[in-house]
Amino acid sequence: MPPSQSALPERYRDDRLHAMAIDPQRIFIYWDEGAAVSAIVARHLAAGWEQAPRGLRVRLAEGDVRLLPCEAASGSVYVGGLQAGAPCRVEYGVEWQGRFLPLYETRVQLPGVRSKRPASVELSERISSYTLYTRS
């Protein structure tokens, strides 16, 4: 909790998401939306996206995904119950038309005996140099 009447800036608006490990099961996350989001998202989503709910998606390896609501475009939160030694992906995004659009992403390694499982399986095979190929 920040000191009251702090002379430090309330927000930086610098498109930032950061996660820190606190212990083998918990992380601390803070975020702040900025100009990159407002400039680029505005061109892709219909009006009203600014009011769309924000959220955090915390992913531990495959199959263990949590979506947590965020109250504002800037803030911080603790997330617990994670897996010791695992790499953890954290995404901050906007919920839009029933989908979660991950605006920022960061990763953090939880302390503990290291898990060998990767944080994600990248899907780049489906993306072939700047266009999406699908079998027609």
Partner 1 sequence: MKRGFLTMVLHAHLPYVRHERIRNALEERWFYEAMSETYLPLLAMWERLQRQGTPFSYALVLSPTLLSLLADAEMAARYAEHLQKTIRLTEKELVRTVHEPQVQELARMYRATYVDLSDRFERYGRNLIPQFVRLAVSGHLELLTCAATHGFLPVISREELRQGQIRLAVETHQRLTGLQPQGIWLPECGYFPGIEEVLEQEGLRYFLVDSHAFAASSASEQQGESGHDLHAPLRVGASQVVALARDPQAAQQVWSSFVGYPGDGAYREYYRDIGFDLDWGYIREFVHPEGIRVNTGIKYHRVTGAGPHKALYQPDLAQKKVREHAAHFVAARLDALERESGKSRAPLITAPFDAELFGHWWFEGPQWLEQVALQVQDTALKLTTPSRYLQAYPETDAAAEMSMSSWGRGGYADVWVNETNDWIYPHLHRLEEKLIRLLHRKSRDGLEERTERALRQMAREVLLAQASDWAFIMAMNTTVQYATERVETHVQQAMALAEAIERGEIPASFVQALEAQAPLFPELNVEAFLGRDMTAVRQKSSLRVLMLCWEFPPRTVGGLARHVYDLSRALAQEGIEVHVVTCHGADTPETEEIEGVTVHRVYLPDYEDGPFTEWAALLNIRLAAMGARVLSGYGPFDLIHAHDWLVAESARHLSEVGDCPLVTTIHATEYGRHHGLHNDLQRQIAEMEKQLAAESEEVIVCSQYMRAELRDIYGVDAEKLHVLPNGVDLTELRKGTEEQAYDHAHALSDVNTPHFSAPTIFYVGRLVPEKGVQVLLEAASHVFAEIPHARFQIAGKGPMLAELQDLAARLGITDRVDFLGFVTDEQRNRLMRQASVAVFPSLYEPFGIVALEAMGLGIPTVAGRTGGLAEIIEHGDDGWLVEPGNARDLAATLLALLRNPQQTAAVAKRGLLKTETQFGWATIARDTCRVYRQAISQHAMLAERDREPTPSDLRPVST
**Residues 6+ away with beta carbon under 8 Å from 51:** none
CA distance 135 to 131: 13
Nearest Cα neighbor of 103 from 18, 27, 47, 41 is 41
**Residues 6+ away with beta carbon under 8 Å from 59:** 65, 66, 88, 89, 90, 91, 119, 120
36 touches partner 1 (CB under 8 A): yes
80 touches partner 1 (CB under 8 A): no
In whole angstroms, the minimum distance from the beta carbon of 71 to partner 1 comes to 16
The residue range among 48-56, 61-69, 106-114 that interacts with partner 1, by the rule CB under 8 A, is 106-114
9 touches partner 1 (CB under 8 A): yes
In whole angstroms, the minimum distance from the beta carbon of 114 to partner 1 comes to 7
Rounded to the nearest 10°, the torsion over CA 15, 69, 107, 99 is -80
The residue range among 47-55, 61-69, 94-102 that interacts with partner 1, by the rule CB under 8 A, is 94-102
- The footprint of partner 1 (CB under 8 A) covers 1-3, 6-9, 12, 14-16, 18, 20-24, 26, 28, 30, 32, 34-37, 39-41, 43-44, 76, 84-85, 89, 91, 99, 101-107, 109-114, 120, 122-135
